[in-house]
Structure 1
Amino acid sequence: MLRSIVSASFMLLVLLSSGCATQERYDYAALEASKPRSILVIPPMNNSIEINASNIYLSTLSRPLAEKGYYVFPVAVINQFLQENGLQSPADMHDVPLEKFAEHLNPDAILYVVIEDWGQKYEILSSTTVVKANMKLVDAKTGKTLWDTQVSYAQGSGDNGGGLVGMLVQAVVDQVVGTIVDPTPGVARTANNIAINNQGRGLLNGPYRAQ
């Protein structure tokens, strides 16, 4: 009996180890060959129902990219520049030919972001703040994908303490607070940090990374 248990345990460890071993590292060959120093962030396209998602998310992207060691073009300035040149929506901005960006701004790489889900989801006894997006970093000259990832994070705010009455009170408080303080910027920053710094799939350090 003991031998069977030990044997089964050993097989479980082997399977778990095999599962970990099959997780392949992201292919960074294109990024390593391109070696971008500067990143131009295009205002995110927004497929969610939250109309302010693009502007809010845009404000959370510069810091984690800069901390990774890249020069990031000032996102607010770029957004205004593009709008003044007749591009009123992120969808229009995403359609700009690469050579136009090279002509006016000359970045090494361009980051495109598409928001898939955003905002607070209220249920009877709890709420969840969700941020979900797709990032793609491309070479500004060739358009070749250098790195891409999915950004996803959800933060719940329900408290199971205090029984049913306590849960109902907490749910009301969450909704009231949610109308005053928007939690999405904090959730977006967490989502960005997880995606950009993910071991094995995150963005590689840039040339200006602080040692």
Structure 2
Amino acid sequence: MLRLFKPTVALLALALLGGCAGPAKNLDYTAFKAARPHSILVLPPVNESPDVTATYSMMSQVTFPLAEAGYYVMPVALVDETFKQNGLNNAAEISQVPAAKLRSIFGADAALYVKVTDYGTKYMVLSSATIVTASASLVDLKTGTTLWTGLASASSEEGQNNSGGGIIGMLITAAVKQIINSSTDAGYPIAGLTSARLLSAGHPNALLYGPRSPKYGTD
């Protein structure tokens, strides 16, 4: 079952304040402004990390930032079940379904393609960090045109100070964190931060505000 992401204002603020939030170059919004999609179909994220939980961890958390940006998001659980009922269980295979076919089935204006490249805890001798990195592309299902692309990353070590306790203390702390992170899905909350950075509107190179936002048409 997909877990529900319950973000707070503080969490969203933290997500947007730091870390990687996409390329520095300015994006071309010409096609996006011409299409102005109202509804978005989120496809199951393609997982390129070793962690098998990455796809559903990310998929369960993308609805909130998209809805906050002003879009109607097709219910992700229903979308996932629809694909399974039609024999599509692999995210990579689903991403190859033609745009016209997706539109005929779901009726959405655009589809969001997500790729997870990092997910999980990495042990780095003196520290242990949980990192989630993902990229996304928004595609117009009427024309197949790519309207927007983005990249974001978040880490459990952001803002941490590991200098206390010397080398031995740092080694012990890293080892303990590794054990804890390996026994739980430590990537889940970090994936929430990554999702917020990746899909929130109102910052450079971000998604444009959708029609349900009071800021629609101002960007």
- TM-score per shorter chain, which class? 0.7 to 0.9
Q: Deviations over 1:79-122 (max 9, x none)?
A: 11101101010011111112222222110000001112211101
Distance change (3 Å), C-alpha of 1:91 and 1:165:
same
Residue in structure 2 matched with residue 65 of structure 1 by the alignment? 66
Residue in structure 1 matched with residue 166 of structure 2 by the alignment? 163
Partner of 2:207, secondary structure, is: coil
Q: Deviations over 1:109-139 (max 9, x none)?
A: 0000111221110122211111122200000
Where do 5+ consecutive residues of structure 2 fail to align? 1-23
Residue in structure 1 matched with residue 38 of structure 2 by the alignment? 37
CA distance in structure 2 between the aligned counterparts of 1:158 and 1:180, rounded to whole angstroms: 24
Instruction: Please tell me the residue identity of whatever aligns with 1:51.
Output: V
Instruction: Please tell me the residue identity of whatever aligns with 1:72.
Output: V
Q: Which has the higher contact order (CA 8 A, sep 6+)?
A: 2
Instruction: Please tell me the residue identity of whatever aligns with 2:30.
Output: A
Q: Deviations over 1:129-178 (max 9, x none)?
A: 11122200000111101111112223326722112332232123212321
CA distance in structure 2 between the aligned counterparts of 1:188 and 1:52, rounded to whole angstroms: 11
CA distance in structure 1 between the aligned counterparts of 2:161 and 2:79, rounded to whole angstroms: 39
Partner of 1:50, secondary structure, is: coil
Q: Percent identity?
A: 39
- Contact 2:43–2:94 (CA under 8 A) maintained in structure 1: yes
Residue in structure 2 matched with residue 117 of structure 1 by the alignment? 118
> Which of residues 187, 192, 200 is equivalent to 2:195?
192
Residue in structure 2 matched with residue 91 of structure 1 by the alignment? 92
> CA RMSD for the aligned pairs?
1.8
Tell me which structure has the larger Cα radius of gyration: 1
Q: Counting helix residues as a fraction of each chain, which structure ranks higher?
A: 1
Residue in structure 1 matched with residue 206 of structure 2 by the alignment? 202
Partner of 1:40, secondary structure, is: strand
- Contact 2:137–2:149 (CA under 8 A) maintained in structure 1: yes
CA distance in structure 1 between the aligned counterparts of 2:167 and 2:192, rounded to whole angstroms: 32
CA distance in structure 2 between the aligned counterparts of 1:74 and 1:128, rounded to whole angstroms: 32
Q: Deviations over 1:14-43 (max 9, x none)?
A: xxxxxxxxx653211111110100000000
Number of aligned pairs? 189
Distance change (3 Å), C-alpha of 1:122 and 1:75:
same
Deviates more, 1:27-36 or 1:193-202: 193-202
Residue in structure 1 matched with residue 18 of structure 2 by the alignment? none
Residue in structure 2 matched with residue 9 of structure 1 by the alignment? none
CA distance in structure 2 between the aligned counterparts of 1:180 and 1:126, rounded to whole angstroms: 17
Partner of 1:205, secondary structure, is: coil
CA distance in structure 1 between the aligned counterparts of 2:132 and 2:30, rounded to whole angstroms: 29
Distance change (3 Å), C-alpha of 1:174 and 1:88:
same
- TM-score, normalised to structure 2's length? 0.80
Partner of 1:32, secondary structure, is: helix
CA distance in structure 2 between the aligned counterparts of 1:103 and 1:24, rounded to whole angstroms: 35
CA distance in structure 2 between the aligned counterparts of 1:85 and 1:142, rounded to whole angstroms: 24
Partner of 1:121, secondary structure, is: strand
Partner of 2:156, secondary structure, is: strand
Runs of 4+ in 1 over 3 A off after TM superposition: none
Where do 5+ consecutive residues of structure 1 fail to align? 1-22
